[in-house]
Amino acid sequence: MMNFKLTNQTKNTTKLNYRVLIEPIKLFYKTKQKPLDILYCLITKTSRILFRSAMAIALLGTVSCVTKVELESSSVAQEKNKPTVNSTVNSSVSNTENIASTSGYQKITVVENLEHPWGMAWLPDGAILITERPGRLRIVRNGILDPTPIAGVPPVFAVSQGGLLDISVHPRFAENRWIYLTYSHGDHSANRTRIARARLENNTLGNLKVIFEVSQTKPGAQHFGSRMVWLPDGTLVANIGDGGNPPIEFNGEFIRQQAQNRNSHLGKTIRLNDDGSIPANNPFANATDAKPAVWSYGHRNIQGMTLDPTKNRIWATEHGSRGGDELNLIEAGENYGWPVVTHSREYSGGLISPETSRPGLIDPKVIWTPSIAPSGLAFYNGDRFPQWRGNLFAGGLVSQDVRRIELDAAGNVIGQHSIPVGQRVRDVRQGPDGLLYILTDRTNGQLIRLEPSGNE
């Protein structure tokens, strides 16, 4: 039996919470907001209040249980996720019970002893650049990992999900030798995602310059986003996470609300020129209520992004919290809903929003519940796996596999298949040789190559 004693401090907290709880109700009389918006506001405020109250009670020693907030990389949280039946327009709902296996490939381990590798990119001579999250940049030549890291990498905030993240090579690298890095910068109380470019010469980065940083700092070590993709016009698209899970706040509300604030970089994809300047044709370049770099918004934490060069369109995979991972087709200026509409739930099990879809907001093409924790995404258009041409390949940290996703001409998902890896998959890329490459996220991480086996 649990004893509960109502202390004076608890009484005061209850009174305060009562006053805050009725604030959304007053909106019915003071504003013309839609009822669903009022309900969403009420749920948001109530969730925040209940979280604070639970923490206060636990600290007072009046309750002997606590609620643990899990990150999307935690397998413990995933074990609690039950497959659910969801529906949304033009979306495919997935769970572990309806994913077929695939065949016709063999896995070749190219390199081992990578410490939590995060991103990879190819140089024109075939060498592979690989980032390690603790802050090292490695190079693989002819299948051999150079034991000496590349010098000149900027200092990074390498804690939890933070560190040295993605890497990309300028489309005209042979002329200018520019490479681009995304990384978390700062400390536990104030950090942000940065993008830097530098020239690679003789295993050293020179002329390094920060060309972009998130407009505001945040506490904690979650949700940095960070994938980069080049568009055919030579501009760079990158993504930024929403800032983290509750109880992290910004300006008195959960920081994830910043994903809907177009005047913040959090929870956005951004588009830059190769020197960090803003393209004049960005969707909000001339808006007074938006950052000019914003390309799309309403995202939680994108860690997979790729270009379909046959149709010049961008695909992205996005972490949900408890369920609700997403595959999205990213279009300029659009709102992808987080956290106003979502199939995710709080890690504690409660609703994040009462809505899973709303007119004017973009629905995902796939919803993964339970979460696969998607990271890394490739569009395949090579000739080594002709039967896979036009498919997407999404890595899964929790599912420990790669999902082969079949698309129709309109971009709708018509099938999914699993390529088991048995390790947390951090990145998936198509190499210039037409083969698929996988990075696994562990202390002894691997670079794995998929080759045809002749069995399909």
According to DSSP H, which parts of 189-332 are helical? none
Compute CA distances 96 → 101, 147, 287, 302, 363, whole Å.
11, 39, 43, 21, 21
d(CA 407, CA 394): 13
User: Three-state DSSP class for 40?
Assistant: helix
Pairwise CA distance, residues 120 & 429, whole Å:
8
The one-letter code for the residue type at 334 is E
Q: Are 317 and 304 in contact (CB under 8 A)?
A: yes
CA distance linking residue 156 with residue 165, whole number of Å = 10
Helix%, strand%, coil% for the chain, nearest 5: 15, 35, 50
Residue count (the chain): 456
Given 116, 170, 185, 223, which residue is catalytic?
223
- Residues in Cβ contact with 329 at an 8 Å cutoff, skipping those fewer than 6 apart: 313, 314, 315, 362, 365, 411
Residue 150 identity? I
Residue with tokens 């590349």: 150
Q: Among this protein's residues, is 223 annotated catalytic?
A: yes
Residue type, 160: S
Q: What is the CA radius of gyration of the chain?
A: 22
Q: How far is CA 162 from CA 138, 158, 223, in A?
A: 18, 5, 8
CA distance 66 to 52: 12
The closest alpha carbon to 367, from 77, 95, 78, belongs to 95
Catalytic residues: 223
